[in-house]
Structure 1
Amino acid sequence: MVTVISLLTFIAFYLLYGTSKKMATIGGLGLEKWTGEHKKTAQYISLALMILSLGLSCFYWGLGSGTFTFSILLMTVASLVILLTPLQLLNYRFLGILFLCSIVFETLLF
């Protein structure tokens, strides 16, 4: 469940980051061109995914802890996206390995 919340938060922030005017459109995920052409749609989808992620985290951890955990997760994901996107380190292979390891660790440890 934590991996799903993290993935939704990542996708939501990356879509929102893609609609920014300061972002260079040299990303490796392929969403950059679409978000540049459909800014309003991408912003609405991003907002919906953020609300869904916040709702899931409040459902999983409770209202206070879920909101706090979501804000920490959002800050962490936002920092990583802003740092790693210009270096072109965010690609499908890296994200796949990261989330596969996260699912394995979540299953084995929790």
Structure 2
Amino acid sequence: MVTGISLLTFIAFYLQYNTSKKMSAVGNLGFEKWIGAHKKTSQYASLALMVLSFGLSCFYWGIGSGTFTFFILLMTIASLVILLAPLRLLNYRFLGVPFLCSILFESLLF
């Protein structure tokens, strides 16, 4: 569940980040061209995923802890995206390994 919330938050912030006018076009994941062509749709999808992620974190951890945890998770993911996207380090392999490890650890430990 935590991995899913993190993944939804990452996708939502990455969509929002790519619709920014100041962001240079970085095409590492493949769907950035579609985001550039459909900015309004991407912004609405980003907002919907962000609300879904927030709702899931409030459902999983409760209202207070879920809100706090969601904003900490959002700040962490936003910092990583802002630092790593211009360096072109965000690709499927770089993102897949931590998420697969997270899913593995989450299913084995919890």
* Structure 2 residues without counterparts, runs of 5 or longer: none
SS at match of 2:90: coil
Note if contact 2:27-2:33 (Cα within 8 Å) is conserved in structure 1: no
| Alpha-carbon displacement from aligned partner over 1:48-106 (angstroms, at most 9, x marks no partner) | 00000000000000000000000000000000000000111100111111110010111
Deviation at 1:31, TM superposition (A): 2.1
Partner of 2:49 in structure 1? 49
> 1:27 deviation in Å?
3.0
Q: TM-score, normalized by length of structure 2? A: 0.97
Question: In 2, distance between residues paired with 1:44 and 1:82?
Answer: 20
User: What letter matches 1:62 in structure 2?
Assistant: G
CA RMSD of aligned residues (A): 0.8
Counterpart-to-counterpart distance in 2, 1:13 and 1:53: 11
Q: Which residue of 1 aligns with 2:31?
A: 31
Q: Structure 1: 5+ residue runs without aligned partners?
A: none
Show structure 1 runs of 4+ deviating over 3 A: none
Partner of 2:13: 13
Identity %: 79
Count how many residue pairs are aligned between Structure 1 and Structure 2: 110
Q: Does 1:73 align with 2:79?
A: no
Q: 2:95 — aligned with what? A: 95
